[in-house]
Amino acid sequence: MTMRTIDLAASDPAAVAGLLRRSPVPDEAVRRRAAAIVEDVRRGGDAALRAAADLYGGGLAGGELRIPSRLVKQAARAASPATVAALVDAADAIRAVHHPQRPVDHTVEPKPGVEVTRAWSPLRRVGVYVPGGLAAYASSLLMSVIPAQIAGVGEIVVATPAGPGGELSDALLAAAEMLALDEMYAVGGAQAIAALAYGTGTIPPVDKIVGPGNAWVTAAKLAVFGDVGIDLPAGPSEAMELADATADPRIVAADLISQAEHGPDSVAVLVTPDAGFAADVLAQVDALLPRLERADLIRSALAAQGLVVVAATVDDAVTFADAFAPEHLSVQTADPEAHAARITNAGSVFLGHWSPHSAGDYATGANHVLPTGGLARAYGPLSVEDYGSWRQVQRLTEAGLAAIRPTVAAIAAAEGLTAHRLSVDLRFEEEP
């Protein structure tokens, strides 16, 4: 397998910095076109949504926007017992991990008679985008909906594209039936994000949009942000393997390609202090690909987005990994605990030989909706807290206000905002 390789120590620092300056939507043309699709749907409603489905795909075979409950129930019956059992097991793990995340209100009293409460409440209506089309992501439905249910969101709306023939995945719909979802729409891409954000004749608007997607979905989420809330820019999947010669090259190769099979824009990076080990990993990639159904897609992803970084030392490799801020980071070194402790910028970290990305994608209960494009520097995994909002509630007594009156007066004078001071002073003056 041929992947772009750089020697970190011998590389121009500006070129290395260029690798680190990333975005979940690096193509400006995609941003512009996604914004145009969003505007078309905002103005045109259902008609524009159907036109986009005709042009880009993602609609049901019969042309319906809302997925009928009969299809959901039929799919739940058609799904294999093994699939249903796996979905139940995954859902149980997700609930176990996410239940403790529900925020707790708290109150502090910085001064006697001054009380400030931070109160959290769930959102009213949330739109969940679930990728689809060539692949179906029942796991993403579980990851996005279960935290919303734990949060107590009033209305959960799902948008997911149908496959090329206008069909929907039995596994996806079985998961929807298991979660008792009753509002689902067969729409995908940037047009789905626009419909959720602004509403159409059929789809009422939501207050926030969550869920992963490709570059078009992510660009559309960024385009509607401000008119509606979004969770995080979760674009095309990324895998980084931080490994030294103590790791098994066959296992590292398997982890590297596990995320590359999502699509041709999936990022796959190996960072190692050992050039010989890197060559062994690439040889193992070649050996494993013939066993995989999506081998051609993986090859194209690795050719376009694959990268091997050879560092002078393992410490330099750790520093690069942290600066890259990957979505998924596997640490397979002689001391994975110590090296991972130095990582502050990563969506989800997997420690050691027995911790593959796939375990987190499906079964550990950790959320797999993660920041991409370097945004793990500022965002974390999707969580229960993303489905609510905080308020500050302030209560003051007369004595409490009197105690902070000099502070208000001094700062108001320094800022030249005398009406701020007046609003306090008047409370202590007798009416004329």
- Sort strands 155-159 and 184-185 into parallel, antiparallel or unpaired: parallel
Q: Give per-residue burial for 66-103: e unless 16+ CB within 10 Å, then b.
A: ebeeebbeebbeebeeebbebbeebbebbeebbeeebb
CA-to-CA separations, 126 to 3, 231, 305, in angstroms, rounded: 40, 10, 33
Paired sense of beta strands 208-210 and 229-230, if any:
parallel
Q: Give dist(CA 208, CA 19) in Å, integer.
A: 32
Active site residue 337: no
Q: Which residues pair with 41 in a beta bridge?
A: none
Q: Is 353 a catalytic residue?
A: no
Q: Smallest Cα–Cα separation from 395: which of 193, 89, 112, 17?
A: 112
Helix (H) or strand (E) holding 254, with range, is helix 249-260
Left, alpha or beta for 169 (phi > 0: left; psi -120 to 50: alpha)?
beta
Q: Which of 328, 339, 357, 368 is catalytic?
A: 328
CA dist 207 and 387 (Å) reads 10
Distance CA 122, CA 369 (A): 19
Q: Please work out, in degrees rounded to the nearest 5, the angle formed at the alpha carbon of residue 37 by the alpha carbons of 34 and 39.
A: 110
Name every residue whose Cβ is closer than 8 Å to that of residue 377 and which is 6 or more positions away in sequence.
Answer: 325, 345
Decide the pairing of beta strands 106-111 and 114-122.
antiparallel
- The catalytically annotated residue of 262, 327, 339, 357 is 327
Of 328, 306, 314, the closest CA to residue 376 belongs to 328
Of 171, 123, 180, 177, nearest to 148 by C-alpha is: 123
**Which residues are the active-site residues?**
327-328
